[in-house]
């Protein structure tokens, strides 16, 4: 039976999805940066289809989802690899911030390899969101609706992030600092679920640090842009 409280729950799930997916949005934006601009949106569109599919299957199998804790360990390792490749490539700061073209992998073209990376990243980050949703409502249709609307909202956020990074290339370094933090968070979450550490990183702290790092990177980018414009006038 549909109740008014169900729609309130859906609204809360959409809001939570947006908050919990702040790190996801940044990682996905960086993953598609190496593609030509016309292919970036296309890769995200294919990714959203996969995200919907996985979200539906995962909700139906939510009782088994907790067993996928090892996925976070793999995800943390992959994100740390991305950060290491970005900062230790022997490039100048200017070269580092000009994103290299996407590379083929898994026997696939550069475009489809990027789509696969987007799908796998969605898998890693979706676990927390789904467990929160299952805890908030026992109704499958409520969980699915909230999750799907949350994914759509996240994709809109990614579009805005891509536009910002294209305008301010200096944000690329800030994005990889955020990715490093996300990798640390996933590692701590895995160690906690495996019983190796007794503490968890609070969601507010995780989101707060992402906002602070992004704010510093954006402020620095605006300052550099302003300085360059003054130099051009003089």
Span 53-67, pLDDT tens digits: 776 776 666 556 555
Residue 96 has pLDDT above 60, yes or no: no
Span 2-25, pLDDT tens digits: 777 778 777 777 766 665 566 667
185: which 2 tokens? 């968070």
Query: Alpha helices of 61-168 — where are they, by DSSP H?
Result: 62-65, 69-87, 93-97, 110-136, 140-167
Structure confidence at residue 99 as a pLDDT band (50, 70, 90): low
Non-local CB neighbours of 21 within 8 Å, separated by 6+ positions: 125, 129, 150, 154, 157
Instruction: Round to whole Å and give the CA distance between 171 and 19.
Output: 20
Residue 135 has pLDDT above 60, yes or no: no
Compute the average pLDDT of residues 84-104: 67
Averaged confidence pLDDT in the chain: 75
pLDDT of residue 225: 79
Instruction: Round to whole Å and give the CA distance between 97 and 95.
Output: 5
């Amino acid at each position: 039976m549909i109740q008014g409280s169900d729609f309130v729950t859906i609204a809360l799930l959409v809001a939570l999805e947006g908050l919990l997916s702040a790190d996801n949005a940044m990682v996905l934006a960086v993953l598609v940066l190496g593609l030509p601009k016309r292919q970036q949106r296309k890769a995200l569109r294919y990714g959203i289809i996969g995200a919907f599919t996985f979200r539906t299957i995962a909700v139906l199998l939510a009782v088994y989802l907790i067993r996928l804790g090892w996925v976070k360990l793999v995800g943390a390792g992959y994100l740390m690899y991305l950060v290491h490749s970005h900062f230790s490539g022997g490039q100048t700061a200017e070269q580092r911030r000009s994103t290299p073209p996407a590379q083929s992998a898994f026997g696939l073209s550069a475009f489809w390899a990027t789509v696969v990376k987007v799908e796998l990243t969605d898998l890693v980050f979706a676990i927390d969101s789904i467990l929160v949703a299952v805890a908030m409502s026992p109704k499958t249709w409520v969980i699915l609706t909230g999750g799907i609307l949350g994914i759509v909202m996240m994709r809109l956020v990614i579009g805005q992030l891509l536009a910002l990074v294209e305008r301010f290339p200096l944000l690329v370094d800030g994005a990889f600092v955020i990715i490093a933090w996300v990798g640390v968070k996933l590692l701590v979450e895995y160690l906690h679920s495996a019983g190796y550490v007794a503490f968890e990183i609070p969601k507010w702290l995780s989101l707060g640090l992402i906002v602070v790092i992004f704010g510093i990177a954006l402020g620095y980018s605006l300052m550099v842009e302003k300085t360059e414009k003054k130099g051009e006038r003089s």
